[in-house]
């Protein structure tokens, strides 16, 4: 390759890397795998090493990784937050260890850690108190996300023990897989598209403007890199253990998340162990990190322009396989959302046999440029969900036709609609489309809704096919003989089903409201609406302004609620459920006190002694009313740390009283 060709290739690679870098760090989406991205970067590095006079000061090889979104205040890092050099080759780990041994004197120990797939964070403490949390950003400066990080329960606001007077601790914020799955279940229940993977969701959550939403997400954090003057340890390993004594959640040797070794054999054993066992972790990792333990030796080794020489990351390859696309089919959800599914020739991937992969929506099919019988590349997105990441166009059949997204419902042949601003197409025939009907009934009987024993999805399908039920109210008209006649049912099972229906009449109103399946109304929102309006009639007759004034109810939800009750069929179903004896009003609990009777109170900020959820419950327990926005009718505001500036300005303008957490607790006599 001559210089002119190299210059052109460097420009192409730089532009492509910058594009994917922006997608990953700013838009929190990914169009290629980490491995493919790293290979692009490696190509660029190789070219720049051969043609050093073509290296630009703005080359992606000089960047640490992230970018600044301008949503939060920008903060300059006191200690540059560099990224690690990484490799997918164990031979390169051996080469790195040999270089280290040649450059430092004395006995060497290495610390092996997991490489968490989350969001890097640096948190500053002074005199044992949380001061500020800053993202990596571009390595030299990041974003102040303190109010959001304070909501993470494993991040201490006050330290214990013998800690340094002033220091910074760094680590990784991540989404535990259990919390991630629960969040996606909630989104699917209200008809929203699930999040793609835990890493991007953690990053997006951390940059939300409303810390109260962040607090509900269940983020977690391991902290392990201590920076500062006069640290009470000579090496990284002991510093991590010290941080555990100060109150931080650290990776520990007991669960083998942290290990010290003096040999390359020990390093390889750690790498191989976690390559085999990472699927068993309750969070995602994408590799391991190896560091020289001793701080003095770290200092001797020093840094390159973008990474320390005393550390390296070994990244696990995302397993990728080829499969033949047999056909694309379409699923209809209970809300009418259409999800395309790729049906594949069976392939082994990540310990399981994969036959299907979600294509999400029409835009994804278009982006992949899929044709009939294509050979596709399949990965497990986030080690969990199979996804198609590309197509081998060289193997495409010449006569193959491009796959076009359907325009009519595959179940009822109704013309599909796509709401402006949404990714999915919908079947509007909610009253006559079979999977929508059975989907709503299955949602109604589910554990988090009515939790009806003795009936499952197969039974619902049988009852529907026999014409015994067409909506959720029909369940309460079922007769013993009808149920007992079903396949694999029998007398006893039929009675259990009817007993389960009878028991469901004691389910509280907020869960009944959730069970109705109003679009966008999940568990939490149903509780908010039920508590605010007290009974179903008040909700049915609520104006748009009344609905939107309820905490966590936005424009989309308010419109969905109104549209649901404008439908005469839905109103008829609710009336029949009333007659059947279901609970459609809040059972008022005895108040613990009346200090806040008839007061409308706004809660804003982050609190230390009680959570926002607990604080709002205390308001209701003492006769008060939680409101989400400030108006002239607001009695007072309970303000924690980082109260929103717009709320503060409005409170001053309206001369609304502001009390702090301690004053509020004293007001109600709470210990």
pLDDT at position 552: 77
Closest CA to 53 of 6, 12, 1: 6
CATH topology of domain 320-425: OB fold (Dihydrolipoamide Acetyltransferase, E2P) (2.40.50)
Strand spans (E) along 20-64: none
Distance in angstroms (rounded) separating the CA atoms of residues 603 and 629: 9
Domain with CATH 3.30.470.30 in the chain: 74-315
- In the set 42, 62, 115, 613, the catalytic residue is 115
Sort 18 into a burial class: Cβ within 10 Å, 0-12 / 13-18 / 19+.
middle
- CATH 1.10.287.610, domain 3-62, yes or no: yes
- CATH 1.10.150.20, domain 434-580, yes or no: yes
Q: Are 316 and 350 in contact (CB under 8 A)?
A: no
pLDDT at position 448: 85
Distance in angstroms (rounded) separating the CA atoms of residues 282 and 88: 23
Distance in angstroms (rounded) separating the CA atoms of residues 124 and 120: 14
23 is catalytic: no
Domain 74-315 sits in CATH at: 3.30.470.30
In this structure, how many other beta carbons lie within 10 angstroms of the beta carbon of residue 431? Answer: 12
Q: Are 407 and 430 in contact (CB under 8 A)?
A: no
Span 155-177, pLDDT tens digits: 988 898 899 999 999 999 999 99
- CATH 3.40.50.10190, domain 600-667, yes or no: yes
Residue 657 three-state SS:
strand
535 beta partners = 585
Q: Is the pTM of this model over 0.85?
A: no
Largest CA distance in the chain: 86
Q: Which stretches of the chain drop beneath a pLDDT of 70?
A: 21-30, 34, 57-58, 62-71, 189-193, 305, 350-351, 381-385, 588-589, 642, 644-646, 671
Distance in angstroms (rounded) separating the CA atoms of residues 350 and 360: 21
pLDDT at position 68: 44
Domain with CATH 1.10.150.20 in the chain: 434-580
Span 277-319, pLDDT tens digits: 888 899 989 899 999 999 999 999 998 867 899 999 999 877 7
Domain with CATH 1.10.287.610 in the chain: 3-62
């Amino acid at each position: 390759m001559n210089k002119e060709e190299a210059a052109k290739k460097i420009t192409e690679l730089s532009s492509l890397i910058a594009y994917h870098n922006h997608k990953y760090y700013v838009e929190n989406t990914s169009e290629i795998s980490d491995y493919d991205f790293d290979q692009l970067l490696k190509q660029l590095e190789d070219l720049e090493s051969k043609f050093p006079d073509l290296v630009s000061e703005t080359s992606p090889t000089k960047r640490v990784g992230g970018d600044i979104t301008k949503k939060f205040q920008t903060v300059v890092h006191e200690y540059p937050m560099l990224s690690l050099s990484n490799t997918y080759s164990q031979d390169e780990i051996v080469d790195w260890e040999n270089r280290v041994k040649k450059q430092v004197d004395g006995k060497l120990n290495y610390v092996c850690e997991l490489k968490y797939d989350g969001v890097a964070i640096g948190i500053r403490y002074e005199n044992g108190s949380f001061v500020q949390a800053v993202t990596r950003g571009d390595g030299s400066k990041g974003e102040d996300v303190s109010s959001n990080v304070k909501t993470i329960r494993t991040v201490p606001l006050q330290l214990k023990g013998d800690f340094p007077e002033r220091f910074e601790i760094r680590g990784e914020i991540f989404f535990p897989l259990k919390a991630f799955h629960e969040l996606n279940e909630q989104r699917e229940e209200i008809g929203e598209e699930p999040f793609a993977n835990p890493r991007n969701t953690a990053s997006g959550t951390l940059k939300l403007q409303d810390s109260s939403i962040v607090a509900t997400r269940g983020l977690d954090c391991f902290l392990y890199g201590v920076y500062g003057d006069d640290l009470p340890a000579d090496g990284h390993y002991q510093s991590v253990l010290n941080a555990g004594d100060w109150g931080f959640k650290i990776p520990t040797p007991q669960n083998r998340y942290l290990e010290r070794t003096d040999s390359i054999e020990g390093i390889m054993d750690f790498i191989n162990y976690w390559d085999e066992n990472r699927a068993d972790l309750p969070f995602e990792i994408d590799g391991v990190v190896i560091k020289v333990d001793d701080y003095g030796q770290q200092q001797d080794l020093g840094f390159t322009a973008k990474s320390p020489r005393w550390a390296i990351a070994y990244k696990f390859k995302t397993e990728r396989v080829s499969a033949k696309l047999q056909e694309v089919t379409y699923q209809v959800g209970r809300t009418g959302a259409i999800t395309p599914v790729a049906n594949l020739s069976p392939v082994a991937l990540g310990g399981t046999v994969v036959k299907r992969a979600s294509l999400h929506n029409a835009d994804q099919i278009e982006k992949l440029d899929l044709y009939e019988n294509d050979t596709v590349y399949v990965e497990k997105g986030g080690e969990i969900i199979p996804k198609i990441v590309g197509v081998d166009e060289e193997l495409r059949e010449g006569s193959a036709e491009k796959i076009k997204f359907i325009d009519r419902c595959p179940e009822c042949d109704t013309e599909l609609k796509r709401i402006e601003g949404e990714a999915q197409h919908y079947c509007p025939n909610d009253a006559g489309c079979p999977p929508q009907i059975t989907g709503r009934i299955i949602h109604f009987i589910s554990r988090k809704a009515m939790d009806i024993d003795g009936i499952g999805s197969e039974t619902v399908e049988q009852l529907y096919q026999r014409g015994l039920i067409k909506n959720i109210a029909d369940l309460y008209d079922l007769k013993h003989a009808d149920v007992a006649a079903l396949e694999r049912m029998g007398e006893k099972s039929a009675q259990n089903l009817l007993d389960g229906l009878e028991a469901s009449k004691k389910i509280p109103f907020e869960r009944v409201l959730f069970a109705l399946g109003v679009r966008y109304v999940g568990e939490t929102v149903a509780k908010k609406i039920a508590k605010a309006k007290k009974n179903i009639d008040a909700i049915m007759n609520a104006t748009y302004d009344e609905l939107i004034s309820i905490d966590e109810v936005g424009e989309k939800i308010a419109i969905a609620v109104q549209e649901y009750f404008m439908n005469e069929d839905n109103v008829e179903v609710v009336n029949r459920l009333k007659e059947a004896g279901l609970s459609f009003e809040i059972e008022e609990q005895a108040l613990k006190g009346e200090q806040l009777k008839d007061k409308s109170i706004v809660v804003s900020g982050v609190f230390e002694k009680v959570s926002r959820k607990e604080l709002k419950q205390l308001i209701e327990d003492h006769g008060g009313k939680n409101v989400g926005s400030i108006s002239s009718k607001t009695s007072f505001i309970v303000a924690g740390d980082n109260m929103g500036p717009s709320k503060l300005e409005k409170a001053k303008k309206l001369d609304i009283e502001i009390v702090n957490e301690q004053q509020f607790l004293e007001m109600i006599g709470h210990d």
